[in-house]
Chain A
Amino acid sequence: MSTVAPSEAARKGPVNWALLLPWLAAIVFLAVMPLIFASNSALTIMNQMAITIVFALAYNMLLGQGGMLSFGHAVYMGLGGFFCVHLMGYVENYEWQIPTPILPIFGGLFGLIFAIVIGLFSTRRAGTVFAMISLGVGELVAACSLIVVAFFGGEEGVSGDRTMGPTVFGFDFAQKIEVYYLTAIWLVISALAMFFFSRTPVGRLANAVRDNPERAEFVGYSARFVRYYSFCASGFFAGIAGGLFAINFEILTEENLNLVTSGSVLLVTFLGGIGFFVGPIIGAIVFTLLQTVMSLYTDIWQLYLGGLFVLTVMFFPRGLAGLLFMHWRPHQLGKLGTLVVPYARMFVPGAVMILGFAGFLETAFHARHAAQGNEVMKLFKFEFLQYDSHSALPWILFVAMMVAGAYGCRRLAPGLKAAWDEANTARSA
């Protein structure tokens, strides 16, 4: 973790279990998941999560570790992906012997090459200038993708076939489950590598340069060079994510390069928490779940997501990981249990308020946009929650829920605060 260093005292013997256990747990978890959720759609979601995690972790090398905000990082993932799809094409058409499992390396290398070139001038300054350049480069490449049809395939993009390569241990990766395990293995390798990187001198200096570039210069490091290093490493891993994307979806388009993709990885990473290594992981999982699950139940899920993002920036900028780690101190003090009841009590008015607000929005949306004559709506697409969106009753109900919920939260807030303070104070011996 970049901000909270695990106590050195946790090392017992040659193996640091505090560090090792989470990784082992994650590996077991990844191995076991498809046995629990075996359906095709579940596998697709899990693959998507894995790819997003790699991309978000790579992005956080820049943002969280290095303090560099980029609005154009999709470029490195996209370029890596495009390169891989072309390689797949050569494997298919010219009998090149590249086994599918090692394709992501090439994606990474291609992303790295581009990062090396672009980083030469883009990493000179950090902050706003860097963000602007990244935006410009991102838009430039996305715009070029429609011009350079030979590489980017124009509007249709480029497709490939992952099953055409030489088989590996008998696998040809036609099955989704095979792709899942391949992706999962790459996920673990990449995450380990990125974690490892953050513990090397360059990785530590990246944090230092983020916090205080002037100071970093006075311990002998060129801030600019450190940023360049982080940038290139980040481009490499983004390229790997691109390669995984190519294997999974077998098609890359201009969408993989544009501002929307760059924006969503920013959203994902920030939501998860940029100050923690696990932040992007949490963000990617939650975001993918929200995206796939919410879109089944509502048409305005993007509105909810946008609102959630803005609220996160305003009120809990440390992200979901930050929220979780806030509970570290109560846990250390053994007082985590004391928070269960206050949270449960706050949950009720909170849920009522949020559901009321959501219901209000859903009804308003339906009333405004539903086709003429289609008065009846199903709240969150549930059959048993049918009503006429133009009648007054649902509106009144939702407003009442919002007001009641808000009032309830208000009343309970001081109690929650007191419980929180109590849970965070060590009782003096």
Chain B
Amino acid sequence: MSLILVNLIDGLVTGLLLFMLSSGLTLIFSMMGVLNFAHASFYMLGAYFGYQISTYVGFWPGLVIGPVLVGVIGALIERYGLRRVHQYGHVPELIFTFGLALLIEEVVQFFWGKGQIAFNVPESLKFALFTISGNAIPAYKVFMIFCSMGIFLVLLYILTRTRVGMVIQAALSYPNTVEALGHNVPMVFMGVFGVGTALAGIAGVIAGPTVGVFPGMAIQLGSIVFVTIVVGGLGSLWGALVASLLIGWITNFAAAYSFRFSTIFEWLGLERPANMAESLLRDAWTLTFPQIGPILPYLLMILILVLRPYGLFGKREV
């Protein structure tokens, strides 16, 4: 029972983190029609900036300044890079963001090297907030949860209750009309891209101390983020939330329970092969839940794409 609770919390942490990334990505997609392959790279940049700033003035300023820097870089890239490539079509746009991801990874290695960086949890949060039958729940994890939820609420508020939010929502579907009404749509685009990437940056600063800061961070999380928004439905913020939490919980629970698939096979009456080393099916017999954890999101994505191509909550045509 307690294990379930711990996994629920861990899954929540992962899910909300994933949400911070996927929300920005899905907003950018629904606004500009471009799937930013380099989104996770901004997440990585956030982590590195957060670390670097924390070495000068501490974690908390890093939490604020880092994402702002990332957002500015994102906005500049939109203005001078993406906008230029946009005219060539969707495929070159995707290729551009892919190239960007590559480049950012190299740049990060240029400045910080190939190894893992010691980005540590700030001293003020380095304690166990409470324990659940012997499993300590670090305060930092709770902080992560509150931070992400806070950001989600702020985002929701801005999009649904403010004028800027309305303009953004309108520009989501009818950019030309909105522009004709006198709003500076290119500026809105730049802003949304900047905010989206800044969100990714925040996720990076927050997640950095727990997942580790290294050049492979972006690739590690990158494809999962795409899976998340496809499952949730491209363009849907609620879909991104639901899908993120779903995937967060699935992967955490899978990793925690060492359920062996051989149990099912034996229950079905199948015989375990005598010579395991030679048998072609030996992997099926040694298969455990934790092993398939990493591939579950992809299976889910393919399932959704085949059965319900709009995703769980999708409105825009995928």
Contact = CB atoms under 8 A, between A and B. Distances in A.
B295 A144 contact: yes
Given A67-B91, A121-B306, A150-B282, A303 B110 contact: yes
B122 interface: no
B292 interface: yes
Given A149-B283, A310-B96, A313-B95, A133 B305 contact: yes
Contacts of B90: 127-128
A307 B99 CA distance: 8
A306 B103 contact: yes
A306 B99 contact: yes
B280 A150 contact: yes
A109 interface: no
Nearest to A68: B91
Contacts of B301: 132-133, 136
Given A131-B35, A135-B223, A313-B96, A307 B103 contact: yes
B80 to A, nearest CB: 9
A339 interface: no
B110 A136 contact: no
Contacts of B73: none
Contact of B106 (A139, A143, A306, A368): A306
A66 B71 CA distance: 36
Contacts of B102: 263, 267, 306, 309-310
B64 interface: no
A140 B302 contact: yes
Contacts of A307: 103, 106
B21 to A, nearest CB: 15
A128 B57 CA distance: 42
B264 to A, nearest CB: 16
Nearest to A121: B306
Contacts of B84: 314
A121 B303 CA distance: 10
Contacts of A133: 301-302, 305
B9 interface: no
A17 B181 CA distance: 59
Interface string B132-145: 00000000000000
A270 B95 contact: yes
Contacts of A300: 106, 110
A341 interface: no
Nearest to A270: B95
Given A121-B305, A263-B98, A302-B106, A147 B88 contact: no
Nearest to B281: A150
B156 interface: no
Q: Interface range on chain A: under 10, 10 to 19, 20 to 34, or 35 or more?
A: 35 or more
Contact of A147 (B100, B105, B234, B292): B292
A147 B291 contact: yes
Nearest to B81: A314
Interface string B108-150: 0111010000000000000000000000000000000000000
Contacts of B223: 135-136, 139, 259
Most buried by B among A140, A312, A368: A140
Contacts of A69: 91, 94-95
A149 B282 contact: yes
A364 B111 CA distance: 9
B230 interface: yes
A148 B261 CA distance: 14
Interface in A253-293: 259, 263, 266-267, 270
B227 A128 contact: no
A86 to B, nearest CB: 11
A267 B103 CA distance: 12
A14 B131 CA distance: 85
Contact of B107 (A125, A267, A303): A303
Contacts of B111: 368
B287 interface: yes
A369 interface: yes
Contacts of B106: 300, 302-303, 306-307
A132 B140 CA distance: 34
B153 to A, nearest CB: 29
Contacts of A263: 98, 102
A357 to B, nearest CB: 13
A136 B283 contact: no
A365 B114 CA distance: 12
B298 A143 contact: yes
B226 interface: yes
A354 B94 CA distance: 27
A147 B283 contact: yes
24 contacts: A124-B309, A128-B318, A129-B305, A136-B223, A136-B305, A143-B294, A147-B283, A147-B295, A150-B279, A259-B223, A266-B95, A302-B109, A303-B107, A303-B110, A306-B99, A306-B105, A306-B107, A309-B102, A309-B103, A310-B81, A310-B100, A314-B81, A314-B84, A365-B110
Given A69-B94, A136-B226, A314-B81, 8 more contacts: A124-B309, A125-B309, A135-B223, A136-B223, A150-B279, A263-B98, A303-B103, A317-B85
A-B CB proximity, top 3 nearest: A140-B298, A306-B103, A303-B106
